[in-house]
Amino acid sequence: MSRNSNPERHAQRMAIKQKIMQQRIAQAQKEQGILLVLTGPGKGKSSSGFGMVARALGHGMKVGIVQFIKGAFSTGEQAFFSQLANVDYHVMGQGYTWDTQDREQDMAAASAAWDVVAKMLQDPSYDLLLLDELNIALKYQYLDLDRVLDDLQARPAMQHVIVTGRNAPPELIELADTVTDMRALKHAFKDQGIKAQKGIEL
């Protein structure tokens, strides 16, 4: 269990989850919003999230995107998605980087970004939310894990949420409906000295 999760709150959450699961089993083939976590060191987590965004847009769905790392990769996705109708695109805090030594500033930026997410999580007009690299903010404990998990659990029944980033906390994996762990069998950028390539890495 992550250091920043309250055991009592966790037990409550799991009791709610158990109830939801029992309802699911009783109502097989139920339609419901999916909480999808894409984690692990392999390449493709964020790309996969953005691919699902494209798919959702192809269905005419409304999508919210919040990127929790600014400038971690190039703005290819931002250039593409932010210009589209039906997409509400946010990049976390001005000047925010993981390199900064100012932890308080980082936490304030993460908290402000979560405020944006929390509003979307209360708004059923959003069909799909992509919380890109949220796991990094959780790993660094820039956000309160219980607040995040509670807000996710309280979202509209049909809303889908995709969370990406390495090192997803166990509590988030427990809450999720679908979890993919992406393993790197090979990585051109790391293993082979190939420069990060536009369209693939960037």
The residues of the shown chain that bind a second copy, judged by CB under 8 A, are 21, 24-25, 28-34, 36, 38, 40, 42-59, 61, 74-81, 127-128, 160, 162, 173, 176-189, 192-195, 197-202
| Nearest distance from C-beta of residue 100 to a second copy, angstroms | 26
d(CA 35, CA 45): 14
144, 176 Cβ separation under 8 angstroms: no
3 state DSSP class of 125: coil
C-alpha distance from residue 158 to each of 5, 38, 122, 161 (Å):
26, 20, 12, 10
Q: 194: which 2 tokens?
A: 């190939």
Q: Nearer Cβ to a second copy, position 15 or 41?
A: 41
Q: Nearer Cβ to a second copy, position 15 or 21?
A: 21
Q: Nearer Cβ to a second copy, position 12 or 48?
A: 48
| Nearest distance from C-beta of residue 53 to a second copy, angstroms | 8
| Nearest distance from C-beta of residue 13 to a second copy, angstroms | 16
Residues 6+ apart with CB under 8 A from 83: none
53, 87 Cβ separation under 8 angstroms: yes
Q: Nearer Cβ to a second copy, position 102 or 170?
A: 170
| Nearest distance from C-beta of residue 162 to a second copy, angstroms | 8
